[in-house]
Chains A and B, each alone.
Chain A
Amino acid sequence: MSIYEHIQGNKIKTVFIMVFFTLFTTMLAYLLGKSLGYGTSWVGIALVFTGVTSIASYYYSDKIVLSISGAREADRSKDFDLYTVTENIAIAAGLPKPKVYLIDDSAPNAFATGRDPFHAVVCVTTGLVKKLNRRELEGVISHEISHIANFDIRLMAIVTVLVGMIALLSDWFTRSLWWKRDTDRERISAAVMIISLILVFISPLIATLIQLAVSRRREFLADASGALLTRNPQSLASALDKISKDREVLEAATNATAHLYIINPFKEKKFSAWFASLFNTHPPIEERIRILKEM
């Protein structure tokens, strides 16, 4: 699959996911409203809520993610290497320089976000800047800028916000079930109750699986196109090696933002093999390093 097909695919997926999530959330809201006995006005509110959030997520995704992560903007003279390396890789990719942000955390990691190459952000931790040399930093930034060039960022940022929304809705529901009086509960029909209960339990799962499915193969592609930008796959390989051997856990990452980072910020969380592979936001790092070294 060529880069251009991948970009096209990403754009189509973005529209598809936005529509799907809106429908899914509306249905969820409807069933929740029914089972709680709130009626159609509740569904209307949910509809407006999802609509507004979808549109807002498109325009403000970068700001939302940055504020969740507590990042500050990088300064050219203070963060000279980071800033100039980003400038340079953007030149190599023929893109405008993305904004550069720093998270104050000693665990080395990085991500890119935004809605298109003209509104893009690259964000790294202070630990990454400290632990990598200039060439390795180039490798990591080229991976991130490839995410921007491939329109992965738009897809990822939208998925992040929408997944968060579904989690919020089902959380909301579980809480209100807890506080309902028994007399209210009797009025709710059993069937609706069961369906919505099932939905509540599977919806975070569905959301998570979508999030994972869109995230894995992309990483290989970003590695490859990043190496094409620096003409130096070794530098990214050695950066990945260093990052993966680092034992610190990134505190700024949450479940909602994990898939954005260059490597899984939670490090080793061991499930049984197939289950773990289902839930991995990233392909195994050894495999990524091996492929880079073979380039």
Chain B
Amino acid sequence: MLIGLLLVLGLIVLYIWSVYNNLIALKVRVKEAWSQIDVQLNRRADLIPNLVKTVKSYAKHEKELFENVTKARSSLLSAATPVEKAKAEGELQKVLKSLFAVAENYPQLRASETYLQLQKELSDTEDKVSFARQFYNQIVSDFNAKIQMFPQMIIAQQMKLTPAEFFKTVEESRKKVTVDL
């Protein structure tokens, strides 16, 4: 009788132990996936001063545009949470689009080697951001599902784990609003 009870108790402890480790590992993975997005966003931010400088040397009068780009860049760098970052990222993408549109009016700029190189690097970084986001969101949905499922959720609650935020693009969050209406 006592041995049976101890055995059951032992099994329960073993179960809690493995769930605990599993959840911790997942939490670390969420953090790692997030830092990958951060790396790519910073990479993009690093490319922007060069881009502005190159475009400026051909298109001097577009002062307001350059200011907007710089502003969007610094707000992206200062954003902390995934939701803030996503918003700042969307803004930056918008102003960059108009920067590239303006650049189209300057044939010399369009033909310049540095500009072409920067354009290539930027569109590659955009791909990197979107793939990193895709991976992050996948990990987050795994994590969120795990901590809300019975019976792990009891342990997750004791560990004070809360669902992680998704990293959504601006368009995606907008879409969601229209669905809610």
Bound form: Cα–Cα A94–B132 in Å: 8
Q: Does B104 have its Cβ within 8 Å of any Cβ on chain A?
A: no
Indicate whether A156 reaches chain B with its CB closer than 8 angstroms: no
Distance of A229 Cα from B130 Cα, bound (Å): 11
Kindly supply a per-residue 1/0 record for chain A positions 171-208, scoring 1 wherever the CB is within 8 Å of any chain B CB and 0 otherwise: 00000000000000000000000000000000000000
Which of chain B's residues have a CB closer than 8 A to the CB of A89? 131
- Contact string against A for B residues 122-152, beta-carbon threshold 8 Å, 1 for contact and 0 otherwise: 0010011001101100010000000000000
Which of B124, B131, B132 has the most chain A CB within a 10 Å cutoff?
B131
Chain A hits for B127, CB < 8 A: 84, 88
* Residue B53 lies at the interface, judged by CB distance under 8 Å to chain A: no
Flag if A91 contacts B120 (CB, 8 Å).
no
Residues 56-99 (chain A) with a chain B CB within 8 angstroms:
80, 84, 87-89, 91-94
Q: How large is the interface on A (under 10, 10 to 19, 20 to 34, 35 or more residues)?
A: 10 to 19
Q: Are A91 and B124 in contact (CB under 8 A)?
A: no
Residues of chain A with a CB closer than 8 A to B134's CB:
92, 231
Q: What is the CA–CA distance of A231 and B134 in the complex, to the nearest angstrom?
A: 9
Q: Which of chain A's residues 77-129 have a Cβ closer than 8 Å to chain B?
A: 80, 84, 87-89, 91-94
Give the docked Cα–Cα distance between A9 and B135 (Å): 25
| Chain A residues within an 8 Å CB radius of B42 | none
CB-CB < 8 A to A231: which residues of B?
134
User: Within the assembled complex, what's the spacing in Å between the Cα atoms of A264 and B99?
Assistant: 46
Q: Quick one: which of A116-158 are within 8 Å of B by CB?
A: none
Residue in A80, A87, A229 whose beta carbon sits within 8 Å of that of B128 in the complex: A87
Smallest CB-CB separation from A87: which chain B residue?
A: B128
CB nearest to A91 among chain B residues: B131
Assess the B135–A92 pair: CB atoms within 8 A.
yes
CA distance A94 to B124 in the complex (A): 17
In whole angstroms, how far apart are the Cα atoms of A9 and B120 in the complex? 41
How far does the Cβ of B37 sit from chain A's closest Cβ, in whole Å?
A: 9
Chain B: minimal CB distance from A275 (Å): 43
Is B86 an interface residue, CB under 8 A from the partner? no
Give bound CA distance, A89 to B127, whole Å: 9
Question: How many angstroms from the CA of A91 to the CA of B40 in the assembled complex?
Answer: 10
Which residues 90-142 in B have Cβ within 8 Å of A in the complex? 120, 124, 127-128, 131-132, 134-135, 139
Q: Are A80 and B120 in contact (CB under 8 A)?
A: yes
**Known A-B contacts A80-B120, A93-B135; A88 and B33 likewise in contact (beta carbons under 8 Å):** no
Q: How far is the CA of A91 from the CA of B138 in the complex (A)?
A: 12
**Max count, chain B CB within 10 A of own CB: residue among A87, A94, A229:** A94
Give the distance to chain A from B121, nearest Cβ to Cβ, in Å.
9
Distance A229 CA – B128 CA, assembled complex (angstroms): 12
Asked if A94 and B33 sit within 8 Å, CB to CB, the answer is yes
Q: Does B68 contact A (CB under 8 A)?
A: no
Residue from the list A80, A84, A94 in contact with B135, Cβ < 8 A: A94
A129 to chain B, nearest CB (A): 15
Min CB–CB distance A83 → chain B (angstroms): 10
Cβ of A88: which chain B residues have Cβ within 8 Å of it?
124, 127-128, 131
Chain B residues, CB < 8 A from A94: 33, 135, 139
Give every chain A residue within 8 A of B36 (Cβ-Cβ): 91
Chain B: CB-nearest residue to A84? B124
Q: Which of B27-55 contact A (CB under 8 A)?
A: 33, 36, 40
State the A residues within 8 Å of B (CB).
80, 84, 87-89, 91-94, 229, 231
Contacts A/B (CB < 8 Å), 26 sampled: A80-B120, A80-B124, A84-B124, A84-B127, A84-B128, A87-B128, A88-B124, A88-B127, A88-B128, A88-B131, A91-B36, A91-B40, A91-B128, A91-B131, A91-B132, A91-B135, A92-B131, A92-B132, A92-B134, A92-B135, A93-B135, A94-B33, A94-B135, A94-B139, A229-B131, A231-B134
Interface of B toward A, CB cutoff 8 Å: 33, 36, 40, 120, 124, 127-128, 131-132, 134-135, 139
Question: Which 8 A-B residue pairings sit nearest by Cβ, starting from the closest?
Answer: A92-B131, A91-B131, A84-B124, A88-B127, A88-B131, A94-B135, A91-B132, A88-B128
Q: Given known contacts A88-B128, A92-B132, A231-B134, what 20 new A-B pairs fall within 8 Å (CB)?
A: A80-B124, A84-B124, A84-B127, A84-B128, A87-B128, A88-B124, A88-B127, A89-B131, A91-B36, A91-B40, A91-B132, A91-B135, A92-B131, A92-B134, A92-B135, A93-B135, A94-B33, A94-B135, A94-B139, A229-B131
